[in-house]
Amino acid sequence: MSRKKPVQRILQLDEDDLHALCEAVDAAILDGGGFGWIQPQGRQVLSRYFKGLLLVPERMLFAVRLDGMIVGCAQLVRAPRNNEAQAMCVTLMHLFVAPYARKQGLGTILLHEVENAARSMGYRVLNVDVPETQTAAIDLFRKAGFDQWGTHPHYARIGDQTVSGLFFTKLLDNDRSTTAEAPRMTQADVAPAEPTSSTRSLTLYPAIDLKDGACVRLRRGEMDDATIYSDDPAAQARAWCDAGFKWLHAVDLNGAFAGQSANVAAVRAILEATTVPMQLGGGLRDMKAIASWLEAGVTRVILGSVAVKNPALVREACRAFPGRIVAGIDARSGHVATEGWAEVSDMQATELALRMQEAGVAAIIFTEISRDGMLEGLDLEQTVALANTVTVPVIASGGVGNIEHLAALRKAADHAPGIEGVIVGRALYDGRVSPAEALKVLA
Ligand code: AMZ
């Protein structure tokens, strides 16, 4: 069974958690609301509500625990049909901590984690509205840097009383916005001479490559050249979270070869064991597979083979799930490979990147296959060129072997604002790169 984190996105509720959650809600209602209900609803109504909530793809439930027991929760809600601008906005609803668990800073921790989750998922605006009677919550939002932008005079009717509502908002993307006008880099500038300063952090995505249920790393994508690092991918994922990484990058290798998800139990176990957002690729070739993983709690899906073979599907997926589709462009000498990298197409990586951008992907992961798992350094030249060709964020992958390779990327990214992060596998597993040092270099 997975260890329970203080704040966790809830994908499934066992009986204990459901019970604790209903107790907490009841206590909050009796204490004067705070969860939208005025009267206690009874256990049946609440448990149906929470079970139903987990089936709604537009809603994400987060819980906060005290000594392992759920004592509060919050929801992130996105509009069911977003236009491109609204796709950046998400609403926080029903944040509360039960009265018996207050005054311990749990509300702040919960808000902080939910905010981080929203930011990691690519949302740029976090909205929240709250009745004027909830003074503790109002205080919490103000302290967390939310701006009040308006008041609704008739927000709720409680008995004979009309209660006003306060509307708050917070911009989440202050680090990327400062880079929008940064100068673009040419290939000749890959290794800039003078040190530069930057205000944004690059994201480090620890790689969790799954083969036959185990966590492995390949060399140049060859299934026969696998090093097994853990037979408990969920424990490995948790270890990466504990090390401070804010995202996970998982690939279902058997799935990539087979054209359909294969390491389903391992991926589910990772989702269950972690709170940070995860991107998942390998074998996702139709809307059903894409939708079902996104509904199961995967934050972003990576599409590789279909990016080349079925761009219409990528477009459809981007429309249905704005901000949650990423193109995985894996190239051998500039040519894009598919089907577990067993096939190489005529398509150039830059051409595919432009097509994927037009299709509406949230990011592009670029891997130079000949470098992957080889520890000899990223192909910075190709990565920078790609990042300067498109306007969507680019994640570098393939070849990180030591901390200098990350420092070189950091330097290159100061002049190529499109570079958003980097995937690291073998070097982390082998201990050649320490998580703390890596995070420091990329910050
Ligand atoms: O190592 C490999 N042989 C490999 C690999 N890591 N083959 C595919 N993949 C990854 C891609 C991408 O994230 O980097 O699988 C994903 C693409 O899968 P698909 O099934 O969409 O082509």
What's the CA gap between 317 and 325, in Å, rounded?
7
Instruction: Judge whether 193 lies within some domain.
Output: no
What's the CA gap between 290 and 283, in Å, rounded?
10
Q: Is the CB of 373 under 6 A from ligand 1?
A: no
Instruction: Judge whether 196 lies within some domain.
Output: no
Instruction: Judge whether 191 lies within some domain.
Output: no
Query: In terms of C-beta density within 10 A (0-12 exposed, 13-18 middle, 19 or more buried), how is residue 205 classed?
Result: buried
Answer yes or no: do 207 and 182 share one domain: no
Residue nearest to atom 15 of ligand 1 (CA): 282
Query: Cβ–Cβ contacts within 10 Å for residue 286, how many?
Result: 14
Residues spanned by the domain of 328: 203-442
Domain stop point among 186, 221, 240: 186
What's the CA gap between 394 and 384, in Å, rounded?
9
The packing angle between helices 349-359 and 311-320, to 10°, is 40
What is the distance between the terminal CA atoms of the chain, rounded to a whole angstrom? 34
Domain stop point among 155, 186, 217: 186
Query: Cβ–Cβ contacts within 10 Å for residue 199, how many?
Result: 12
The packing angle between helices 403-415 and 380-387, to 10°, is 30
Ranges of the chain with pLDDT below 50? 1-2, 174-198
Query: 315: part of which helix (H) or strand (E)?
Result: helix 311-320
Largest CA distance in the chain: 72
Answer yes or no: do 96 and 174 share one domain: yes
Token pair of 35 as six digits? 């969860």
59 C-alpha to ligand 1 centroid (Å): 29
Residue 393 to residues 175, 239, 308, 398, Cα–Cα distance (Å): 13, 27, 19, 17
Q: Is the CB of 282 under 6 A from ligand 1?
A: yes
Instruction: Judge whether 122 lies within some domain.
Output: yes
Q: Is 440 left (phi over 0), alpha (psi -120 to 50) or beta?
A: alpha
Q: Where are the alpha helices (DSSP H) in 93-192?
A: 106-120, 135-143, 174-177
pTM score, whole prediction: 0.65
Residues annotated as catalytic (active site), given as ranges: 209, 330
Q: Which residues contact 14 (CB under 8 A, 6 or more apart)?
A: none
What's the CA gap between 367 and 329, in Å, rounded?
6
Domain total in the chain: 2
Q: Is the CB of 221 under 6 A from ligand 1?
A: yes
Site of tokens 């390949």 = 218
Residue nearest to atom 8 of ligand 1 (CA): 340
Q: Is the CB of 126 under 6 A from ligand 1?
A: no
The beta strand positions in 112-221, using DSSP E, are 125-131, 147-158, 161-171, 203-211, 214-219
Ligand 1 nearest atom to the CA of residue 223, by list position: 3
340 C-alpha to ligand 1 centroid (Å): 5
Answer yes or no: do 346 and 285 share one domain: yes
What's the CA gap between 81 and 47, in Å, rounded?
27
Reduced to 3 states (helix: H, G, I; strand: E, B; else coil), residue 183 is coil
Answer yes or no: do 253 and 171 share one domain: no
Answer yes or no: do 281 and 345 share one domain: yes
CATH number at residue 29: 3.40.630.30
Domain stop point among 186, 215, 245: 186
Answer yes or no: do 181 and 211 share one domain: no
Residue 243: name the closest of 375, 25, 108, 434 by CA. 434
Answer yes or no: do 337 and 266 share one domain: yes
Q: Is the CB of 304 under 6 A from ligand 1?
A: yes
Residue 153 to residues 20, 80, 368, 403, Cα–Cα distance (Å): 35, 27, 57, 56
Q: Is the Cβ–Cβ distance between 429 and 375 less than 8 Å?
A: no
Instruction: Judge whether 1 lies within some domain.
Output: no
- The DSSP call for residue 87 is G
- The confidence score (pLDDT) of residue 180 equals 31
Answer yes or no: do 103 and 249 share one domain: no
Sign, CA dihedral 75-240-226-326, equals: positive
Answer yes or no: do 229 and 180 share one domain: no
Reduced to 3 states (helix: H, G, I; strand: E, B; else coil), residue 71 is strand
What's the CA gap between 176 and 418, in Å, rounded?
9
CATH number at residue 227: 3.20.20.70
Q: Amino acid identity, residue 79? A: A
> Helices (H), strands (E): how many in the chain?
16, 19
Token pair of 96 as six digits? 């509360």
Answer yes or no: do 24 and 49 share one domain: yes
Our mutation pick for probing the ligand 1 site, out of 212, 257, 263, 302, counting the most ligand atoms within 8 A of Cβ, is 302
Digit-coded pLDDT (tens) for 210-255: 999 999 999 999 999 999 999 999 999 999 999 999 899 999 999 9
Instruction: Judge whether 198 lies within some domain.
Output: no
Answer yes or no: do 120 and 171 share one domain: yes
438 C-alpha to ligand 1 centroid (Å): 24
Answer yes or no: do 157 and 270 share one domain: no
What are the backbone angles phi and psi of residue 132, rounded to the nearest 5°?
-60, -20
Instruction: Judge whether 195 lies within some domain.
Output: no
Q: Amino acid identity, residue 196? A: T
Query: 346: part of which helix (H) or strand (E)?
Result: strand 343-348
Our mutation pick for probing the ligand 1 site, out of 209, 215, 253, 280, counting the most ligand atoms within 8 A of Cβ, is 253
Residue nearest to atom 1 of ligand 1 (CA): 221
